[in-house]
Amino acid sequence: MKDVRLLDRAFDPNPLIDALAMACPAAGGLATFLGKVRMGEGVEALALSHYEPLTLPGMDTLADAALGRFDLEGLLIVHRTGLMHPGEPIVLVSAAARHRRDAIQAVDFAMDHLKSDSWFWKREKRVDGWHWIEPRAQDADDILRWS
């Protein structure tokens, strides 16, 4: 089971995770990562833009790679675009597997690739205006683990 979504509106992660669990009754483990807009540090908003012809197909290819690499019953990848505020969900990756290790590693793999091979551009609005968010060196190191 594969569910990949690109949304331009707020989403509630709980029903999505519940639906994955129900669709994968043989799974003994469900691992989930939920990324949210940071609170504090002067962040007032986050804007995510993307290149539409590549974004959803790229996310779908990433899901296929995770499903091919790990022994999964199901995988859910949801990513938000547009204007978001502190505390709102940005990204949800959830993997269902017979055993925990495959679920946990699949989520880690998908998140590393979403962060490093992404088709998204991020800007944060702080009290002094808008600032582009550049990739960190750690993001490049994280992706190398999967080579």
User: In the prediction, which pLDDT does 55 show?
Assistant: 92
Global confidence as pTM: 0.94
Does the pLDDT value for residue 56 go beyond 90?
yes
User: In the prediction, which pLDDT does 115 show?
Assistant: 83
What percent of the chain clears pLDDT 90, i.e. is strictly above it?
A: 80
- The distance of Cα 123 from the centroid of its chain, to the nearest Å, equals 17
Residues 87-123: tens digit of each pLDDT: 999 999 999 999 999 999 999 999 999 987 778 899 9
**Homologous superfamily assigned to 2-144:** Molybdopterin biosynthesis MoaE subunit (3.90.1170.40)
| Angle value at C-alpha 61, between 139 and 144, nearest 5 degrees | 25
d(CA 100, CA 110): 16
